[in-house]
Amino acid sequence: MREGHLKMKILRNHLLGEFLFPFFGSLFSLVFVFLLGRGVVQMADLIFNKDVNLVLILKMLLHSLPFVLIFLIPMAVLISTLLTFGKLSHDNEIMAVRASGVSLLQMAKPLLAFVFVICLFSLLLSDKIASNCHYTYRLILEQIGMESPSAALEEGTFIKRFKNFVIFIYEIDRSHLNGIRIYQPQEGRPTRTIIAEKGEIISIPEKGLIKLKLVNGTSDEPDPKDPSKLYKLNFKTYDLPLNVSALRESEKLGKKPKDMTIHELSDEIKRLGEAGITATYPLSTEIHNKIALAFSSLAFILIGIPLGITSRRAEKSISFGLSLALMVLYWVLLIGGKALAQKGLAPPFLALQFSNLVVGGLGAFFFVRLQKN
């Protein structure tokens, strides 16, 4: 019995060793790709074109990382599972272990237990850490908008973040603007239009505003005799205040569902229920979305084990193609389920866990077939 226990301990340590290196390696690679693809480009634009403080940018990236890790950890689990069991299968180690009387389930138990711990960590990450970081991330964006107003503007795009205004700017050079068009839709009245040759952004942080100082242009103004009509006004300079943040103070910035923990979401559902408001589907959806994402790693390891074992050196590209297809299938099912749950067309738990049930169910089916062979 002691010999059998020792054998299982050696096998467990060997499997964990084979799994951990590709897991952390793939996770690091995925994070690096994220930072390189999004972080570096965004940093360069904000630093060189928007005059944003480097410390604020680094804080913004740091606080966005936990939210991204929720999605990257399951991917790293799938990749490392495929690599681990593909290598063991190619080296005939699985055949040798099974020939010694150890079943596939016994062999996989240590990794399943380890991934379950990852799921618990992911739930903590999703519920507590990522929620708070996402809220802080929004506060940093507000701060950037006040300290570097040009960061709130993007050239060649219709900007709709300012209340009552739609803005289009052809060129932005730090705080200097060229080719400005501003539209102000008015219910029951013609849309007001302001056109300026150039302009400048001026921040007024104490009032939570930025001011567009427009130069050489025309503005639609209400006709004093008939306010429903507009007339053209030519101007050399025109000051247009824009509200960057009506809630400037951090404690007044309301939390969105993504910013709330499961406990806060449950309290909000209860509060709305007591007020007679039953439309709490978005809040319930967010709770089950956190849980579903946290435990998606279990679904991926279940599908990854049989895929990895059945792949051979010549078939690895097929295996990775299947894994990519499974990832796409998973995210499509998750996003679709979330949309249905938010509209109240399906129970949130079932809608959000459906992706885990499909991918994990397929994995369990193939796993049982391999176990019997």
Q: What is the pLDDT of residues 176-224, one digit of tens each?
A: 888 888 888 877 777 788 899 998 887 776 666 778 889 999 988 877 7
Whether 207 and 138 map to the same domain: the answer is no
Q: How far is it, in rounded angstroms, from Cα 165 to Cα 75?
A: 41
pLDDT per residue as tens digits for the range 232-261:
888 898 888 877 654 344 445 567 788 888
Model confidence, pTM: 0.72
Whether 10 and 132 map to the same domain: the answer is yes
Is 156 domain-assigned? no
Whether 292 and 342 map to the same domain: the answer is yes
Work out the angle at residue 166's Cα, subtended by the Cα atoms of residues 161 and 170, and round it to the nearest 5 degrees: 105
The answer to whether 60 and 68 have CB atoms below 8 angstroms apart is no
Whether 215 and 306 map to the same domain: the answer is no
Whether 137 and 25 map to the same domain: the answer is yes
pLDDT for the residue 357: 93
* Cβ neighbours, 10 Å, residue 188: 5
Is 255 domain-assigned? no
Is 41 domain-assigned? yes
Is 293 domain-assigned? yes
The answer to whether 246 and 210 have CB atoms below 8 angstroms apart is no
Q: Rounded to 5 degrees, what are φ and ψ at 237?
A: -135, 145
Candidate from 102-116, 156-170, 278-292, 313-327 with smallest mean pLDDT = 313-327
The residue from 243, 276, 297 where one domain ends is 243
Whether 110 and 55 map to the same domain: the answer is yes
Q: How far is it, in rounded angstroms, from Cα 280 to Cα 312?
A: 49
Whether 58 and 121 map to the same domain: the answer is yes
Whether 183 and 126 map to the same domain: the answer is no
The answer to whether 177 and 198 have CB atoms below 8 angstroms apart is yes
- Residue 19 domain boundaries: 2-146+263-372
Is 316 domain-assigned? yes
Is 257 domain-assigned? no
Is 155 domain-assigned? no
Where b means 16+ CB within 10 Å and e means fewer, 150-173 reads bbbbbbeeebeebeebebbbeebe
The residue from 214, 243, 272 where one domain ends is 243
Burial of 301 (0-12, 13-18, 19+ CB in 10 A): buried
Whether 229 and 288 map to the same domain: the answer is no
The residue from 243, 271, 296 where one domain ends is 243
Whether 63 and 28 map to the same domain: the answer is yes
Whether 28 and 123 map to the same domain: the answer is yes
Q: Average the pLDDT over 267-286 and give the result.
A: 76
The answer to whether 122 and 73 have CB atoms below 8 angstroms apart is yes
Number of domains in the chain: 2
Angle between helices 316-342 and 348-372 in degrees, nearest 10? 160
User: What is the share, in percent, of the chain residues with pLDDT greater than 70?
Assistant: 78
**Which single residue is written with the structure tokens 């006709």?**
223
Is 331 domain-assigned? yes
Whether 61 and 203 map to the same domain: the answer is no
> Mapping DSSP to helix (H, G, I), strand (E, B) and coil, where does residue 193 land?
strand
Tokens standing for 72? Answer: 């990257």
User: β-pairing, 166-173 with 176-186?
Assistant: antiparallel
**Which single residue is written with the structure tokens 């596939």?**
104
* Phi-psi label, residue 181: left if phi above 0, alpha if psi -120 to 50, beta otherwise: beta
Nearest in space to 70 (alpha carbons), one of 258, 268, 337, 257: 258
